[in-house]
Amino acid sequence: MTDKPVPDDRYANLQALGQHSTIPANPEAAILERVSAPAAGQNYVIRFTAPEFTSLCPITGQPDFAHIVLDYIPADWIVESKSLKLFLTAFRNHGAFHEACTMMIAQRIISAINPRWLRIGAYWYPRGGMPIDIFWQTGAPPEGIFLPDQGAAPYRGRG
């Protein structure tokens, strides 16, 4: 016999988690959900890695691929991961330059959860023979936190 978890009213308003979900038509239509930070007031880093991120070139319509690494320190909220996955997947039919996609991701997360600190590393695979990597953060990270390297080496081709 398997015990079912007791429903938690704190999560009753979530639309994606535990539900059948469809991929939003575009990133603007995606809903980023949040839940209370389990250790509010403490500085700890949460990392999301999306190694198979895709979007479209706004000019040619060809697919672009990236390895996205998001690090943030929550304040009162954390991003609910299924809604984040749906948001990121919504870029697969979205035409925008690498820089626009990267900054849109960062700004949407900031708008949804208002973290203490956030950084994004977007390691884009070559387009036209040249990789484009985009990095941004809200400011200096708080002192004393453990902040590992993002783990994505710059593109080296076959070298």
Where are the domains positioned within the chain? 36-137
CATH 3.30.1130.10 assigned to domain 36-137? The reply is: yes
Check residue 10 and give its pLDDT.
60
Where does the pLDDT of residue 152 fall: very low under 50, low under 70, confident under 90, or very high at 90 and above? confident
SS (H, E, C) 85-104: HHHHHHHHHCECCHHHHHHH
Per-residue pLDDT tens over the stretch 18-62: 566 889 899 999 999 999 999 988 999 999 999 999 999 999 999
List 133's β-bridge partners, or say none.
Answer: 123
Per-residue pLDDT tens over the stretch 91-138: 999 999 999 999 999 999 999 999 999 999 999 999 888 889 999 999
Q: Where are the beta strands (DSSP E) in the chain?
A: 34-36, 46-56, 63-73, 77-79, 117-127, 130-137
Query: What dihedral do alpha carbons 136, 140, 49, 154 form, nearest 10°?
Result: 60
Residues marked active site are found at 57, 64
